[in-house]
Amino acid sequence: MTGNSNDALTGKPGSNLVQRLMDALVEDIRTGLLMPGMKIPSESALIERFGVSRTVVREAVSRMQAAGLVETHQGKGSFVLLGPAEGAGVAVLSALDTPEDVAELIGLRLGVEVEGAGLAAANRSAEESNGLVRAAAAMRSMTAQTKELLEADFDFHRRIAHATGNRFYGELIDSLGPAMIAYPAHRLGAPDTTAWAASHGVICLEHEAIAAAIADGDVDSARAAMRLHLSNSRNRLTRRS
């Protein structure tokens, strides 16, 4: 992508410009100008294209990283993890600006996915149960690739939605897309650290408990396991180091 003076962002300095730059980059991902696995333009290129400061660029990229949209490798740059879904998924991502925004996103998921887990326990097929258990187990081996973890995490929750027997659950989760799986900074860090491994192990246990309850057809336990997982996710995402 080359610099374009028409892309210059004008207005008051500060967080407004950071959000507008983030929105512009999300739009590039949504429209396919930036694809999963591609490196986003350098700081210098973004400064030239959008007419913003280096501080604004760094803050926008940092927020995208915290939202799980990109990951940054020291000395190599930032790379796109996944493209957001059309429609609502983009809106959710662009609003993930503060810990409060993240808490609201988890609140939405609590309102939908707790009941969804109960419905899945009541209505799942044997094939759906087996697939869900396998999906939860597979996450344990994904200790080195954040992109794989993001895809696997979303796939797990998507499977539950489609096992409810109510097509609107599946359509809603599909419309949110992988953007709904917002990762805290420590889940984007080096996987060989003790903190990363401990957090990953707990998260895997939570997914396995949900899968087991749904596979057993235990409606109350499935709801409880999903509620615990999402409540813990909210605490992990909003925890300040």
pLDDT surpassing 80 at residue 208: yes
User: Which tokens is 103 given?
Assistant: 């808490």
Q: For residue 191, what is the DSSP state?
A: T
Question: Angle at which helices 99-123 and 167-176 pack, to 10 degrees?
Answer: 150
Chain centroid to CA 132: how far? 19
Packing angle of the helix pair 146-162, 99-123 (nearest 10 deg): 50
CA 184 – CA 234 distance, rounded (Å): 10
Does the pLDDT value for residue 14 go beyond 60?
no
pLDDT of residue 204: 93
**The two three-digit tokens of residue 148, written as one number:** 């794989």
Q: 83, 161, 184, 73: which is closest to 115 by C-alpha?
A: 161
Most confident of 27-41, 126-140, 175-189: 126-140
Q: Record the pTM.
A: 0.63
Strand partners, 79: 39, 71
The string of pLDDT tens digits covering residues 94-152 is 555 566 777 788 899 999 999 999 999 999 999 999 999 999 999 988 865 566 777 88
